[in-house]
Structure 1
Amino acid sequence: MAHAFWTVSDLPAGSHYQPQSLCMRGDGNRSLQTFEGATTLEQDAQAKAFITDGASRWPDCAVARQVRVGSPKGDVDALVIDVVQYGGSVMTVVQPFRPGPAEFRLLGDELLIDNNGPLPPLPAAQAAAAMREGANDHPGLGDKWSQWEAARDPVSPLVQR
């Protein structure tokens, strides 16, 4: 999550995040893969195919891609991160954001979904806390994550009021 948002936060206005996967073996070795394609739709299709085909072969794998999501307030950009574990268990994280680089901002809390739908409040809060802690520890981010957290909009545009 941290690596994907770091990349997105630095993109020039109007750019689109190229989907990536970051997979880790039990021994800690990691593999970063970028999904190529002539269009963002082709890149996205390759990333989605990897979620069901290649990612489940790793103990832990995250596949990140940028999407436009309809919300009560209009379409918003979001990073969708599919966290896949051995056996194909998938948890999906949807985090709306305002593109940068100067205006980059996280828009509300992330939405967490598993194979059965949105996670109940307590498991969702625990998973979000673990992800945010991991993002805060990312060695290349410096203090960016804590700044994004402090400036995070309090309510997601994906939540109806």
Structure 2
Amino acid sequence: MAGLPTAALQLAGFLMAHAFWTASDLPPGGHYQPQSLCMRADGNRQLQTFEGASAKEQDEAARAFITGGAAQWPDCAIARQVKVGTPTGEVDALVIDVVQYGGSVMTVVQAFRPGQQDFRLLGDELMLGDNGPLAPLPAAQAAAAMREGALDHPGLGDKWEQWETGRDPVSPLVQK
């Protein structure tokens, strides 16, 4: 994957930080309500929350936006919380789809432990392109751009840096 879109990845990182900030404040059993953050060529951004009677309906609305409403924007990121099965059980993960004009650029999956007291990022982001995981160099470049975007979130204070420092070394999403 040549020429990863830095602006779109930074936008996705900003939304990732916002989503984790929200998820870190949820009560036990709470679920992050999916959101999109889209940016026009002039830099104007719009945050949208996806409504539904259940978490499943909210997720379906967010996934439909990826190929529908996102097409009107040069850059969009759509974040939603999912449960991912691993050999040791289910883990919570934030899935962020990075799109340009409705075309998927990549999908980022970041495992985390929810909870107001023990919120934690679990390993590094898993960067997926159309053909599976990105090669190490493009994945590292994408992660760096996203983390730069996360640091731009004005409301986080030092939370992102604390989460980075406390990040588990290995993601439960990576097979050993």
Please say if residues 91 and 115 of structure 1, whose CA atoms lie closer than 8 Å, have aligned partners that are also in contact: yes
Map of 1:26-45 to 2, 5 A cutoff? Answer: 26-45=41-60
Gap regions ≥5 residues in structure 1: none
Whether 1:136 aligns to 2:151 is: yes
CA contact (8 A) 1:72 1:158 kept: no
Read off the aligned partner of 2:38 and give its amino acid letter. Answer: C
Q: How does 1:62-77 map to 2 (within 5 A)?
A: 62-77=77-92
Residue identity over aligned pairs, in percent, reads 80
Structure 1 match to 2:128: 113
SS in 2 for 1:75: strand
Shift of residue 28, structure 1, vs aligned partner: 1.1
In the alignment, the residues of structure 2 paired with residue 57 and residue 72 of structure 1 have an alpha-carbon distance, to the nearest angstrom, of: 40
2:173 maps to which residue? Answer: 158
SS of alignment partner, residue 112 of structure 1: strand
Distance in 1 of aligned mates of 2:79 and 2:93:
10
Structure 1 match to 2:25: 10
Aligned position for 1:101: 116
- In structure 2, stretches of 5+ residues that fail to align are 1-15
How far off its partner does 1:86 sit? 2.2
How far apart are the structure 2 equivalents of 1:58 and 1:116? 24
Match of 2:42, as an amino acid?
D
TM-score, normalising length: structure 1: 0.97
Q: Is the 8 A contact 1:84 1:91 kept in 2?
A: yes
How far apart, CA to CA, are the structure 1 residues paired with 2:125 and 2:156?
Answer: 19
Cα distance in 2 between the residues matched to 1:135 and 1:19:
17
In structure 2, the residue matched to 1:89 is 104
- The alignment's TM-score, normalised by the length of structure 2, stands at 0.89
Do 1:62 and 1:84's aligned partners in 2 also have CA atoms closer than 8 Å? Answer: yes
What is the deviation of 1:137? 2.1
Question: When the two structures are aligned, how many residues end up with a matched partner?
Answer: 161
- Residue by residue, what CA displacement relative to the aligned partner does 1:34-55 show, whole Å, maximum 9, x if unpaired? 1111011110000000001111
For 1:37 and 1:4, the matched residues in 2 are separated by 18
CA distance in 1, matches of 2:86, 2:167: 18
User: Is the 2:110–2:124 Cα contact (8 Å) retained in structure 1?
Assistant: yes
Question: How many Å separate the matches in 1 of 2:68 and 2:148?
Answer: 29
8 A Cα contact 2:121 2:166, kept in partner? yes
Kept after mapping to 2: 8 A contact 1:108/1:153: yes
CA apart distance, 1:87 = 5.3
CA deviation after TM superposition for structure 1 residue 74, in Å: 1.0
